[in-house]
């Protein structure tokens, strides 16, 4: 892939795809699940909930829409936008293969408004397949709950699979991997975006799925020490990642950050900024209080079930309170209450 802005790690540069016809392949859902399993591709992340499970459920329950989530959570890690610009045919082939496998009537691709309209012109006709939907790719719009709500007006509770609402959600990196496989390209390569926050350098890489994250970083020349931490996915989620994790089982957006000296939390001043910014209208400060007192009913009233764990509440809280952790604790309390019943 010499003409693409990807550094190949642990493999020879694969050949670039040529444009292919829209009909794509005839891979079945079971074959796709087997392929994912065989290559250690565990695609269960922020922008794409458990793909294997979605495929299984799609066969039993049926879905009418396959939605490709090609929004980048953060503009400083433009993995999906790069894939759409450079490997559009692979992404489309993968998307069509999945749509054919689950026999979905419609195929949508959600792209950021900042993407050049020449690359992906907005669909005017409902018959377009895939139909392109241009959205403002502001965080946390790429979360499936918000994406499905915005594009299809279907309500999905966070943590549930989109197939419950008749939708299969796949992100652009996953569609790319499947598209390459369906097109017969070898070896299987996972696209990644590694951002080093210390130098603000962004590296786009193609890696073998079984390579560990530590090996990947070493081969990319990104040294880590005790003062740095590796997180994956949207940065506000602060999801830490062990270096032993295989590349095929993690979020394709990795971030090397320097740890900041912690500052003590202040008391909640009831500024309500957390509630104002929450994209799903829950009350994080009330969830914090519920977590403090172990009050599952108060956690329920605060709306913790709706939390998409975007971390915006933590980000804006002027008192630096651990609101997202409190919401997650409230969710755990609710789960424990339900299982206890």
Partner 1 sequence: MVTEPATSSSAPILAAGHGFTAGVRAMFWSGVSNDRIVIHQCLAMLLPLLAGLMMYGWRAAGAVATVVLTALLSGALWQHVGRRGSWLRPGQLLPLALPVALMLPAHLFARRLEMEGAGLITVWPILPAAGLTLVVCCWLMGFSHRGMAVLLTPLLISSLFGAAMEPQWVLKRSHAFLGDLLDAEPAPDEARTTGWHEYADTSDRAALRTRPSAARLTAFTTGVDRPERSWLSMEHVIRDELAPLENLFLAGEPGPIGTTSAVAVVIGGLLLIYWGLSDYRIPLLIVVGALLALLVLPVPVVVTEAGPQWRWLAFRADAARWDVAVTFANYQILGSPLLFVALFLAPAASLRPLGRSWRAVYALLAGILSAAAQLYIDAATGPCIALLLVALLTPLMDHLRRSRDPG
Residue numbers at the binding site for partner 1 (CB under 8 A) = 145, 149, 155-158, 160, 229, 231, 235-236, 238, 240, 257-272, 275, 280-283, 285-286, 288-289, 291-292, 303, 305-306, 311, 314-322, 325-326, 328-329
Nearer to partner 1, 37 or 320 (CB): 320
CB 125 within 8 A of CB 18: no
CB 298, min distance to partner 1, A: 9
Distance CA 71, CA 146 (A): 12
CB 314, min distance to partner 1, A: 7
Q: Which of 172, 142, 176 is nearest to 279 (CA)?
A: 142
Nearer to partner 1, 113 or 160 (CB): 160
Contacts of 146 (CB under 8 A, 6+ apart): 140, 279, 280, 308
Nearer to partner 1, 22 or 260 (CB): 260
Nearer to partner 1, 247 or 288 (CB): 288
CB 193 within 8 A of CB 254: yes
Distance CA 143, CA 125 (A): 26
CB 187, min distance to partner 1, A: 34
Q: Where are the alpha helices (DSSP H) in 127-193?
A: 144-152, 172-182
CB 131, min distance to partner 1, A: 22
Give burial (CB, 10 Å; 0-12/13-18/19+) of 244. Answer: exposed
CB 313 within 8 A of CB 278: yes
- How far the first Cα of the chain sits from its last, in Å, is 55
Give Cα separations from 63 to 197, 223, 318 (angstroms). 40, 44, 43
CB 231, min distance to partner 1, A: 7
CB 159, min distance to partner 1, A: 9
Nearer to partner 1, 87 or 285 (CB): 285
Nearer to partner 1, 13 or 325 (CB): 325
Distance CA 73, CA 68 (A): 14
């Amino acid at each position: 892939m010499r003409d693409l802005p990807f550094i190949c790690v642990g493999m020879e540069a694969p050949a670039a795809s040529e444009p292919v016809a829209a009909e794509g392949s005839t891979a079945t859902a079971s074959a796709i699940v087997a392929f994912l399993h065989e290559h250690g591709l565990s695609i269960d992340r922020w922008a794409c909930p458990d793909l294997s499970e979605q495929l299984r459920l799609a066969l039993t329950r049926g879905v009418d829409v396959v939605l490709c989530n090609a929004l980048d959570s953060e503009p400083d890690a433009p993995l999906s936008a790069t894939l759409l610009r450079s490997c559009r045919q692979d992404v489309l082939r993968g998307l069509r293969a999945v749509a054919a496998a689950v026999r979905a009537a419609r195929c949508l691709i959600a792209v950021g408004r900042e993407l050049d309209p020449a690359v992906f012109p907005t669909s005017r006709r409902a018959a377009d397949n895939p139909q392109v939907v241009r959205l403002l790719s502001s965080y946390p719009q790429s979360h499936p709950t918000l994406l499905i709500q915005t594009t299809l007006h279907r309500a999905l509770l966070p943590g549930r699979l989109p197939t419950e609402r008749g939708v299969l959600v796949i992100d652009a990196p996953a569609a790319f991997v499947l598209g390459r496989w369906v097109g017969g390209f070898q070896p299987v390569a996972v696209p990644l975006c590694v951002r080093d926050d210390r130098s603000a350098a962004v590296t786009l890489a193609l890696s073998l799925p079984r390579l560990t994250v530590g090996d990947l970083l070493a081969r990319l020349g990104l040294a880590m020490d005790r003062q740095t931490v590796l997180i994956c996915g949207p940065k506000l989620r602060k999801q830490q990642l062990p270096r032993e994790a295989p590349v095929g089982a993690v979020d394709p957006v990795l971030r090397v950050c320097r740890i900041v000296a912690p500052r003590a939390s202040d008391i909640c001043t009831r500024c309500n900024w957390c509630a104002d910014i929450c994209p799903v209208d829950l009350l994080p400060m009330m969830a914090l209080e519920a977590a403090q007192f172990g009050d599952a009913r108060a956690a329920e009233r605060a709306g913790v079930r709706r939390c998409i764990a975007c971390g915006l509440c933590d980000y804006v809280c002027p008192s630096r309170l651990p609101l997202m952790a409190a919401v997650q604790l409230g969710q755990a309390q609710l789960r424990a209450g339900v299982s206890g019943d």
